[in-house]
């Protein structure tokens, strides 16, 4: 770690490294990734840094020590491994969407099938409205290695309430205020991708009305759960 990093930032990094181990385990537990594919990252509060999974390390070998720290240009700051091959994409998102605290990339089967088709997932279910606020959009195809994927993510999500983007010919990315929020979005994305696919095999899937989508999204984001005047 650099000598200019404060004790508070160093502590935040250690906390995030532990949290990312647990969150990567959620990806495997929910069958969203295989082998070494996929990654979760976290923005470090009060610092232009992020923590991310190392490249090519299997999930059962992940530990707090294997997680790496980069700056928001994707340059390695601390760690014994090379950062994920998607680091530049994550870093671009953090630089351009300051409200985002976590980014997740998976190759989950059904969501990635929609990416292959380059087709948005239509808002035909309350869960889609609740979590994603409308259709789940498709982003452009981009090669791995620089910030092209990040550019596609940002440009697509700037015009959407969605926490997920289906990157064409690649796979889904999700964002959240925290890394846990982003993982939750990835889990729910795969669930609705599967359900809507199955429903479309049976016939027409009518879209929810825009007013209903707005109402559902507002309730889920601002009322649902154990906060304020929460309802069950």
What tens-digit pLDDT sequence spans the chain (232 residues)?
A: 554 689 999 999 999 999 999 999 999 999 999 999 999 999 999 999 999 999 999 999 999 999 999 999 999 999 999 999 999 999 999 999 999 999 999 999 999 999 999 999 999 999 999 999 999 999 999 999 899 999 999 999 998 999 999 999 999 999 999 999 999 999 999 999 999 999 999 999 999 999 999 999 999 999 988 765 444 4
Q: Is 1 a member of any domain?
A: no
The total number of structural domains that make up the chain: 1
Residue 34 lies in a domain: yes
Domain for residue 110, yes or no?
Answer: yes
Which residue in 115, 90, 106 sits closest to 35, CA to CA? 106
Quote the domain boundaries for residue 29: 7-222
Query: Residue 116 domain-assigned?
Result: yes
Q: Mention every residue, 6+ apart, whose C-beta is less than 8 A from residue 195.
A: 125
57 bridge partner residues: none
What's the angle, vertex CA 162, arms to CA 156 and CA 166, rounded to 5?
55
**Could you tell me which residues come within 8 angstroms of residue 119 by beta carbon, excluding any fewer than 6 positions away?**
138, 166
d(CA 23, CA 211): 34
Phi and psi at residue 42, to the nearest 5°: -140, 135
Please report whether residue 111 resides in a domain.
yes
Measured CA to CA, the distance from residue 176 to residue 167 in angstroms comes to: 17
Residue 108 structure tokens: 């989950």
What pLDDT score does 229 carry?
Answer: 45
Residue 146 counted as domain residue: yes
In a domain, 200, yes or no: yes
CA-CA-CA-CA torsion sign (97, 101, 107, 110): negative
**pLDDT recorded at residue 5:** 81
Domain for residue 108, yes or no? yes
What is the CATH number for 195? 3.40.225.10
Contact 1/10 with Cβ under 8 angstroms? Answer: yes
CA 15 from chain center: how many Å?
A: 19
């Amino acid at each position: 770690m650099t000598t200019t990093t404060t004790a508070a930032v160093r502590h935040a990094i250690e906390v995030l490294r532990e949290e990312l181990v647990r969150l990567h385990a959620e990806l495997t537990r929910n069958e969203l990734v295989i082998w070494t594919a996929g990654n979760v990252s976290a923005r470090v509060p009060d610092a232009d840094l992020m923590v991310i999974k190392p490249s090519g390390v299997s999930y059962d070998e992940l530990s707090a020590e294997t997680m790496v720290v980069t700056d928001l240009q994707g340059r390695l700051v601390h760690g014994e491994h090379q950062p994920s091959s998607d680091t530049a994409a994550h870093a671009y998102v953090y630089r351009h969407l300051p409200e985002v605290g976590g980014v997740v990339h998976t190759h989950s089967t059904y969501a990635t099938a929609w990416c292959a088709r380059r087709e948005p997932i239509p808002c035909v279910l309350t869960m889609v409205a609740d979590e994603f606020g409308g259709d789940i959009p498709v982003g452009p195809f981009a090669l791995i290695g620089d910030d092209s994927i990040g550019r596609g993510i940002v440009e697509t999500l700037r015009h959407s309430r969605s926490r997920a983007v289906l990157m064409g010919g690649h796979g889904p990315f999700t964002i959240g205020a925290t890394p846990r929020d982003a993982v939750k979005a990835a889990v729910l994305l795969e669930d609705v991708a599967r359900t809507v696919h199955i429903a479309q095999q049976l016939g027409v899937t009518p879209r929810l009305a825009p007013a209903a989508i707005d109402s559902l999204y507002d309730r889920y984001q601002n009322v649902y759960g154990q906060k304020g005047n929460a309802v069950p």
